[in-house]
Amino acid sequence: MSYQKRRSQKVPVDLKNNMKIEDYFPQVPKEQQNCSSTSQVKVRSRKKPRDITNTQDRGCSFPTKTPEDQTVPLKKTIYVTLNVNHRKNQNMQNVLTYSERASLYEALHTLDAVREEVKTQQGKEMLVCGKERIEGFLNLGMPLSCFPDGSCVEITFSKRVSEQKEDNQVCGRRDWTSTDCVKFYIHAVGKTRKRIVKCGELHKKGNKLCVFGLKGETIKDALCKDGRFLSFLETDCWKLIGKLTSHVESSQEVDAMEGKLYQLEAEKRSSTRVAATATGTQNWELEEHKAYVLQEYIVREYPSLNRERERIRENLKKEMKIRKVNQSSLVKLHRTDFGKQTKNSTPVKTLKLLSQLSDSVGFLRWDNNGSVGCATCFVFTGPFVLTCLHVVHHIVGKGAEQEKWADIIGKCVRVTFTYEEFATKDDNCFLVEPWFEISDVTLDYAVLKLRENGQQVPAGLYNGIAPTPSSGLIYIIGHPEGERKSTDACVVIPQSEREQACARNVRKAMPDSDPEFVHMYTQNSFQKILHNPDVVTYDTTFYWGSSGSPVFDSHGSLVAMHTAGITVAYLGATSHFIEFGSALRPILSDIMEKRKDWYEKECVNQQDVEMLSQED
């Protein structure tokens, strides 16, 4: 029987009437009732048998006593905190002592506070996260034998998305008959394919899932039976990546995995496969009505599109019938702060020059009270580094008052310049001063200041103003996807050819769509880039994590800073239309206007000062 079929089976309706309290708590022989041994516990016969109806409703059934179990199992004690705003004394710990052969789900539901909260939070999923002695978001089907005694866990509740079905609950696997388990951890965000979990609340950088498997079981079986991962794990090829980029195949057994942390790397599905999975029994009349509502909204927002009303309607209907998907997933274009793959032969002389320049490119990472991330920066001059302003926004988080940004940056940011093969330890990193005085939203740049720690700051890359290239080759050095330092050679897209390049890439990504039709949806996103002389446009493979990378011309002169790109989410696949960087010349002009004293002190090229002053 396949795993999918086993997962969808329901517990028989009369289980509640057939199962007795002895099935949960094996009776202690009379001769052992007065035993004081700590390995045995007494059964409290006065307690009313626990109602297991809630367990059946959640799709979770758990192993009962086997005939050979004649002794009461050991108990485990864990501490449970309910993190819900409306509950009085929400941070008060509840002490839970229960049989180690029981599941976490079964044990939690013996607490009155948990049962009451589950009733209050109907329609939501219970998420349990380890806080002390055990880590990560826990599978509710995990036996208590996997928990170190005295573990602390925290319960929150997540909104259940509409596409989650009854057999896709977070309680996960329930097929274990032995407590001889191995637990290991998986990053909630995948490497090549980012979305790997069903619950949107879990899909965040920094989150990790605690997974358990039975000894002798394969890694693939353990993750597929877990219940929290997407179904592509059952059919697609994937593997786990541990420290030092070591790979573990999914066919290996879990026996040696105890306590280890991995990231899942899976092959990306093509748009054809995504379209195939999107088909099914759908109400097309309802979908056409949704398309009509969308069209009416667009026409109201953009009166100039009235003449295109019928054309938009016909195109939407045509695309929906051909693709057999709903309108909400048909076209989603937007600016992405951090695709093309371009390969160019590079002269050895240029490679040597780029190697020297790369010494000044830094890996910037932050941990702001659990909010972690990474980007790229580079030494501009002296102890000052340049990166993107949107990176600073990610660092400080939403809602932070701007006067507090400097302190936040000084506390949580680290920069290393030696991440070329393996990540560098903190003792080899530069801290950042609580200093934030120079930045701009339009040009998306920010200047940060490294804190002296006895290490030699690499040489600054600013060495005078070089012309902004309008064609030819450029080179980007950075840390795409937060990986080791690398270089990408790119072809500059001239300003006069940007619109044609976008249209060409639209046709590649969406071969059955009308580029003009797509362009109407993305007017603002495109116009800001297509006719902006303050950016350099190109095709690159550098996306997330590479914001803030320096851009050099073929002579090794700093000409821009890699900033962002325009992407399209179409039928579940993401394509990249065009990438761009803020040119160095307008950045310097902006610094001159805002902080001329700082520029004249730190940027010693007086000729450039006069040049920028004349331009202003």
In three-state secondary structure terms, 221 is helix
Q: Is residue 150 within 8 Å of residue 227, measured between CB atoms?
A: no
CA distances from 151 to 100, 142, 174, 368 (A): 13, 14, 22, 25
Q: Identify the DSSP state of 533.
A: T
Q: Find where tokens 């001889």 sit.
A: 180
Q: Identify the DSSP state of 197.
A: B
Residues forming beta bridges with residue 416, ordered by sequence position:
363
Two tokens at 518? 């797509």
Two tokens at 100? 């180690």
Active site residue 547: yes
In this structure, the strands spanning 181-187 and 439-440 are unpaired
Among 221, 226, 444, 553, which one carries the catalytic annotation? 444
Among 390, 394, 479, 576, which one carries the catalytic annotation? 390
Nearest one of 338, 359, 341 to 556, comparing CA atoms = 359
Active site residue 440: no
DSSP E strand boundaries for 382-432: 384-387, 413-416, 430-431
**How many angstroms from the chain centroid is the CA of residue 85?**
26
CA distances from 470 to 89, 229, 282, 492, 562 (A): 63, 46, 50, 7, 16
Q: Is residue 565 within 8 Å of residue 535, measured between CB atoms?
A: no
Active site residue 203: no
User: d(Cα 230, Cα 465) in Å, to the nearest integer?
Assistant: 50
CA distances from 613 to 262, 444, 590, 600, 601 (A): 53, 22, 11, 12, 15
Q: Which residues contact 415 (CB under 8 A, 6 or more apart)?
A: 362, 363, 364, 365, 377, 385, 429, 430, 432, 450
User: d(Cα 103, Cα 174) in Å, to the nearest integer?
Assistant: 9
Neighbours of 64 (CB within 10 A): 14
CA distances from 8 to 126, 166, 169 (A): 20, 9, 11
**How many angstroms from the chain centroid is the CA of residue 345?**
34
The full DSSP string for 198-214 is S-TTT-STT-EEEEEEE
Among 99, 151, 360, 547, which one carries the catalytic annotation? 547
Question: How big is the CA angle at 511 (ends 508 and 514), to the nearest 5 degrees?
Answer: 110
Q: Find where tokens 């702001």 sit.
A: 368
Which residues are designated catalytic?
390, 444, 547
